[in-house]
Amino acid sequence: MGTRGYILKKVFQAFLTLLAVIVFNFFLFRILPADPVDILTRGAGAKLDDAEKAELRASYGLDKPLFPGQFMDFMGDTLRGDLGQSIIQRPGEDVTAIFGEFMWPTFLLVGVSTVLSTVIGIFMGIYAGWRRNGKFDLFSMGFSLVLYSMPEFWLGMLLILLFSTTLGWFPSSGRATVGGVYTGTAAVADIVNHLFLPALTLTLAYLGEYYLVMRSSLLDVLGEDYITTARAKGVREKWVLRRHAVRNALLPTITLIALSFGFVLGGAITVEVVFGYKGLGGLTYVALQNRDFPLLQGIFLISSATVIAMNLVADLIYGYFDPRVREA
Amino acid sequence: MQSPPITPGGDPNLTGDRMPESLPELRSPRRIRRARRRRAHTTIWKEYRKSKMGMAGLLILVFFVAVAIFAVFSSKDGLDPTKVFGPRLAPPSLKYPLGTDNFGVSVLTQVIQGSKISLLVGLVASVMTITIGALIGIVAGYRGGAYDTLLMRFTDFGLVVPWLALAIILASIIGPSLVTIILVIGLTSWPSTARLVRSQVLSVRERPYVERARALGGGNWHMIGHHVLPNVMPVILANAVLVVAIAILSETALSFLGLGDPFSFSWGGVIESAFNGHATTLGAWWWIAPPGICIVLVVLSFTMIGFALDEIINPRLRER
Amino acid sequence: MSVLSLKDVHITYHTASGGVPAVRGVNLEVAKGEVLGLAGESGCGKSTIAAAILRLLPGTTKVEGSITLDGEDVLAMKPGRLRAVRWTGASIVFQGAMHALNPVQRVGDQIGEAITVHNQAGEREARVRVGALLEQVGLPTRRAMDFPHELSGGQKQRVMIAMALACNPSLVIADEPTTALDVMVQAQVLRLMKELQRDLGLSMVFITHDLSVLVETSDRLAIMYAGKVVEEGSAATVFHDPKHPYTAALAAAFPEIGDRRFRGNPTGLGGDPPDPQEIPSGCPFHPRCSVAFADCERTVPELYPAGEGRRAACLLVEGAKTVATGVSE
């Protein structure tokens, strides 16, 4: 099939999965026994009378039959990028517009911590696997196991306790100083200052897992016959590691990193809540408390789409490194 | 090429029956099976005892289970702020070894009472996860064909959906409660178990003695009950332990976000109230640290047990 | 002078359950241009010896005795010298090429790596040499761009052979090179190896459990059992006139069409090779031996002279009695 076929296949599959998610999103609210309008307006406080409900129902197209009426409406809207309006939080405002405001801080946070945790975790894992049962291995193993067992938001709280409340080195919340009017480098520095603790939290939270996977994957590979072949040929240990062992050990690691991305997003939500960080996570929390369903639905869609995209990226990277999958 | 010698006695899956040298009396198949199972269990336990990590994990777990049982039988009055008049937000003292929260309730009591919720929810949710996952995995692996493809697409979909987002939506529709959390975890965590079980079933299906059993006329139920299940169980067991660990962490996160029962505090709930009570900015470390430490210890213990079990089931890890 | 010389070699693996003596006092010699066949069942130690020659055993393994390659003591070599000698002094054709090749690297690069690592050529010249090597083993040169999974079992084995020849080694160790192949492919690969050995005048150690293969390819044979050599001599005489009951049983297990001895007398060897941690007392073969007698349980046989250039570790030989080959007259 070749490389191009592989890429096309993966992109197509990703698109199909996205469609499935959208359909799933649709049914999520409508299969329930309760009246959708009741659910949609549950958080609104005052009870609506029948007339208002009927009006609301009509505006949401809920008076149309489920299939094809509502379904087509929903699909059409979603594919056009119309995710509805927020009911509670900012009534009437487009969900997509709200996202625009909250997306980049989350991307920044998740991006920075993912890069850091994968890079550090992988390097640590390689080093530990190579020097199995050395002091570094045992220490980092314990360290990673403990990190892996920690709820990330709790870690965040501890870090706030230490670095913010006690030592005063970093702010305890927010993504930028409230009411601050910094420009240029000062603005960037301010953002970094606020980003530091949340990013540290997320990095530490997932570093352990990547370390463990890389280490065990490397140990598996080191037991393979072709490693012995390489050594028998007289290749230096350093190159045996780099050219033969790591290249093969990275493969399952990439897969696992992709698979855990859903958890990373989950972690981002709780961490943003802890740090009062105004990103999508914090938005989700507030939307949850307000039962602002259009917003929640949109968030579900966006996060699913992100995970699908990340999986696609991982698939492509994997395909680059492992020639075997390109054939099938 | 050189290979280290295999363990004495060889791979039990390959050598099959090894009847004892002396056969004093005729043994029925059932007695043989039972004896074999007993022998297998004692061997597993003997191997397990050798693992320091496994024993440590087991010890910690037993400790917390004991705490949870103690919590069931001790009074919950200590949790009620109307019945207790402790000092608010007090650091640890002799009377309140873990200090008090912003209502004056002892943190120690909360942690002890929280243990039973956290462990229970973790356990029940795991049972649900594993049952669903194993069922799907076995059907997909054993039936193959269209069933397999369909179920695996479904599983892949389940893997892609970000669990917390889904959990939040589900919980906000159903309403916050312990049952919600159990349901949500059960419904979102099964895919990886399903995948694992399926691949194990596939490998069992290919084994020669399975083919022979079919040739001898073994029907589907017999095959699944006598051949597939016993060989898949060890893998499920090792996976189950890790599933519980993740379930506990998930429950903690969901409780933290306010989706749990507001009246019965799990450890996650204690952390939630600590957060909402501004424990971080007020420096009330005694309120924040203990529930988290308990979670870490319990999850660690499950993880260690899981690792130890995994090493026994995948012996190749031992020789290196 | 011999290319390879093993004197009183003892190799003990280190495992969780204690030390496992895989090789218990082995002496072997390979002269220049000679093919030594090393035969025995799984677990007798032959593959261990192969790995030991280039010090490829796990670090915790204890290797005692002397292993001399081209006059140099392998066990005393410093790491740098060892790396230089690996592949140029001796190379190995591994069993199961499916797993002995790096799955994510093109086969041409893997062969070329052997050349460039020893600074025998630059990148471009190495590629030319790789092409020549591939042709030598009967593969088209464009195969160099393939990945291992794109090749058949026989093709992969040819790649392994080409790789083994890349640095013109003094000695080639073939460790079960054809075991994992179909019979037809096996015959092809064996023929190839025989030709190469003849054309290039290679010294070889040919390891296998299939005795009939060795008769075709080897000059001399050494039969191993439970970590020791139990018989050695020229290939033809050892196979057709075995002095040790084990050799006889091994030979009988691979019947030759046309040889009257096998007609109507299918024989195999019952039982399993002994667990290295629980080797029987006296002669390690006695529990499975059809002609064992009382002494066999008590006395450990040495390699007694058993004819012209032959030795066998059997008490029956010591007593110069004729050996019943286990086949009825």
Per-residue pLDDT band for C205 (boundaries 50, 70, 90) equals: very high
Average pLDDT over residues B140-165: 85
* In chain A, domain spans: 95-327
Distance CA C312, CA C326 (A): 17
Q: Are C326 and C245 in contact (CB under 8 A)?
A: yes
pLDDT of residue C10: 92
Distance CA B35, CA B301 (A): 31
- Beta-carbon separation of A311 and B162 below 8 A: no
Using CB atoms, pick whichever of B1, B285, B295 lies closest to residue A151: B295
- Beta-carbon separation of C13 and B5 below 8 A: yes
Chain C residues in contact with chain A using a Cβ-Cβ cutoff of 8 Å = 51, 54, 56, 83-88, 91-92, 94, 96, 99-105, 113-114, 117-118, 147, 149-150, 163
Q: How far apart are the CA of B205 and the nearest CA of chain A, in angstroms?
A: 23
Quick one: which of C147, C152, C167 has its CA closest to C102? Answer: C147
Measuring CA to CA, how many Å separate B18 from each of B13, B21, B30, B35? 11, 9, 15, 12
* pLDDT at residue B31 greater than cutoff 90: no
Using CB atoms, pick whichever of A149, A262, A265 lies closest to residue B299: A149
Chain A neighbors of C150, CB-CB under 8 A: 327
Return the top range by mean pLDDT from B242-246, C14-18, C269-273.
B242-246
Q: Are A57 and A63 in contact (CB under 8 A)?
A: yes
* pLDDT at residue B247 greater than cutoff 90: yes
Residue B263 burial (C-beta neighbours within 10 Å; 0-12, 13-18, 19+): exposed
First to last CA, chain B: 16
pLDDT of residue C242: 86
Cβ atoms within 10 Å of A47's Cβ, excluding its own: 9
Cβ atoms within 10 Å of C86's Cβ, excluding its own: 27
Chain A, chain B: beta-carbon pairs less than 8 Å apart: 148
Per-residue pLDDT band for B25 (boundaries 50, 70, 90) equals: low
Nearest residue of C to residue B319 by CA position?
A: C15
Quick one: which of B75, B76, B106, B113 has its CA closest to B88? Answer: B106
First to last CA, chain C: 43
Average pLDDT over residues A253-258: 86
Amino acid at B60: I
- Beta-carbon separation of B1 and C96 below 8 A: yes
Ordered DSSP codes for C269-310: --S-PPPTTSPPSSSTTGGG-TT--GGGGT-----EE-STT-
Using CB atoms, pick whichever of A21, A146, A308 lies closest to residue B296: A146
Q: How far apart are the CA of A112 and the nearest CA of chain C, in angstroms?
A: 30
Per-residue pLDDT band for B130 (boundaries 50, 70, 90) equals: very high
Residue C233 parent element (H or E): strand C228-234
pLDDT of residue A227: 92
Nearest residue of C to residue A323 by CA position?
A: C104
Q: What are phi and psi of C322, to 5 degrees?
A: -75, 145
Q: How far apart are the CA of A145 and the nearest CA of chain B, in angstroms?
A: 7
Using CB atoms, pick whichever of B2, B7, B318 lies closest to residue C48: B2
CATH of C4-89+167-328, one of 3.10.20.740, 3.40.50.300, 1.10.3720.10, 3.20.20.70: 3.40.50.300
Sheet holding C228-234, edge to edge: C90-93, C171-175, C203-208, C35-39, C220-225, C228-234, C311-312, C304-305
Chain A residues in contact with chain C using a Cβ-Cβ cutoff of 8 Å = 224-226, 228-236, 239, 243-244, 247-248, 251, 321-324, 327
Distance CA A242, CA A227 (A): 11
Residue A163 parent element (H or E): none
Using CB atoms, pick whichever of C84, C104, C150 lies closest to residue A234: C84
pLDDT of residue A292: 76
Return the top range by mean pLDDT from B220-229, B243-252, B280-289, C258-267.
B243-252
Chain A neighbors of B279, CB-CB under 8 A: 157
Residue C91 burial (C-beta neighbours within 10 Å; 0-12, 13-18, 19+): buried
* In chain C, domain spans: 4-89+167-328, 103-166
Nearest residue of C to residue A245 by CA position?
A: C102
Distance CA B254, CA B185 (A): 9
Query: Which of A294-298, B27-31, B308-312, C287-291 has the lowest average pLDDT?
Result: B27-31
Q: Are C94 and C131 in contact (CB under 8 A)?
A: no
Using CB atoms, pick whichever of B2, B5, B319 lies closest to residue C276: B5
3-class SS at C232? strand
Chain A, chain C: beta-carbon pairs less than 8 Å apart: 75
Average pLDDT over residues C301-329: 67
Quick one: which of B69, B61, B23, B62 has its CA closest to B300? Answer: B61
Per-residue pLDDT band for A178 (boundaries 50, 70, 90) equals: low
pLDDT of residue B19: 45
Residue C46 or residue A36, greater confidence: C46
Distance CA C23, CA C12 (A): 7
* pLDDT at residue A113 greater than cutoff 60: yes
First to last CA, chain A: 7
Distance CA C20, CA C11 (A): 8
Instruction: List the subunits that have 3+ CB pairs under 8 angstroms with A.
Output: B, C
Q: Are B257 and A285 in contact (CB under 8 A)?
A: yes
- % pLDDT > 70, chain B: 84
3-class SS at C230? strand
- Beta-carbon separation of B281 and A172 below 8 A: yes
- Beta-carbon separation of A248 and C150 below 8 A: no
Residue C229 or residue B145, greater confidence: C229
Per-residue pLDDT band for C265 (boundaries 50, 70, 90) equals: low
pLDDT of residue B13: 43
Q: A143, A149, A228, A270: which to substitute to probe chain B, counting the most B Cβ within 10 Å?
A: A149
pLDDT of residue C102: 92
* pLDDT at residue A199 greater than cutoff 60: yes
Chain B neighbors of A291, CB-CB under 8 A: 172
Average pLDDT over residues B44-71: 86
Q: How far apart are the CA of A262 and the nearest CA of chain B, in angstroms?
A: 4
Q: How far apart are the CA of C138 and the nearest CA of chain A, in angstroms?
A: 22
Query: Which of B144-158, C57-71, C159-173 has the lowest average pLDDT?
Result: B144-158
Sheet holding C62-69, edge to edge: C18-31, C2-15, C62-69, C72-73
Write the class of the CATH domain A95-327: mainly alpha
Using CB atoms, pick whichever of A225, A228, A233 lies closest to residue C114: A233
- Beta-carbon separation of A234 and C56 below 8 A: no
3-class SS at C12? strand
Q: Are C246 and C223 in contact (CB under 8 A)?
A: yes
Alpha-carbon Rg for chain B, nearest whole angstrom, is 24
As a dihedral over the C-alpha atoms of residue A71, residue A77, residue A82, residue A87, rounded to 10 degrees, the angle is -30
Cβ atoms within 10 Å of C321's Cβ, excluding its own: 11
Query: Which of B26-30, B188-192, C127-131 has the lowest average pLDDT?
Result: B26-30
Distance CA B171, CA B180 (A): 6
* pLDDT at residue C266 greater than cutoff 80: no
Q: What are phi and psi of C259, to 5 degrees?
A: -75, 120
Per-residue pLDDT band for B320 (boundaries 50, 70, 90) equals: very low
Residue A68 or residue B200, greater confidence: B200
User: Average pLDDT of chain A?
Assistant: 81
Per-residue pLDDT band for C310 (boundaries 50, 70, 90) equals: confident
Q: Are A250 and A321 in contact (CB under 8 A)?
A: yes
Q: A29, A83, A157, A312: which to substitute to probe chain B, counting the most B Cβ within 10 Å?
A: A157
Chain B, chain C: beta-carbon pairs less than 8 Å apart: 38
pLDDT of residue B192: 87
3-class SS at B109? helix
Chain C neighbors of A324, CB-CB under 8 A: 103-104, 147, 149
Pairing type for strands C311-312 and C228-234 reads: antiparallel
Using CB atoms, pick whichever of A149, A262, A270 lies closest to residue B163: A262
* pLDDT at residue B294 greater than cutoff 90: yes
Using CB atoms, pick whichever of B280, B297, B299 lies closest to residue A160: B280
pLDDT of residue A44: 54
Cβ atoms within 10 Å of C127's Cβ, excluding its own: 19
Give ipTM to 2 decimals: 0.83
- Beta-carbon separation of A269 and B166 below 8 A: no
Q: B286, B296, B302, B316: which to substitute to probe chain A, counting the most A Cβ within 10 Å?
A: B296
Using CB atoms, pick whichever of B157, B280, B316 lies closest to residue A17: B157
- Beta-carbon separation of B288 and A154 below 8 A: yes
Residues in chain C: 329
Nearest residue of A to residue C151 by CA position?
A: A324
Average pLDDT over residues A166-177: 75
| pLDDT tens-digit map of A76-91 | 777 766 766 666 666 6
Average pLDDT over residues B74-84: 69
pLDDT of residue C109: 92
Q: A16, A32, A154: which to substitute to probe chain B, counting the most B Cβ within 10 Å?
A: A154
Write down all domains in chain B, each with its CATH number in brackets: 107-320 (1.10.3720.10)
Per-residue pLDDT band for C324 (boundaries 50, 70, 90) equals: very low
| pLDDT tens-digit map of C29-86 | 999 999 999 988 877 888 889 999 999 988 888 899 999 998 889 999 998 899 999 9
Q: How far apart are the CA of C207 and the nearest CA of chain A, in angstroms?
A: 17
Average pLDDT over residues A230-245: 90
pLDDT of residue B2: 36
pLDDT of residue C329: 36
Instruction: List the subunits that have 3+ CB pairs under 8 angstroms with C.
Output: A, B
pLDDT of residue A65: 62
pLDDT of residue A1: 57
- Beta-carbon separation of B5 and C43 below 8 A: yes
Chain B neighbors of A293, CB-CB under 8 A: 172
Cβ atoms within 10 Å of C257's Cβ, excluding its own: 6
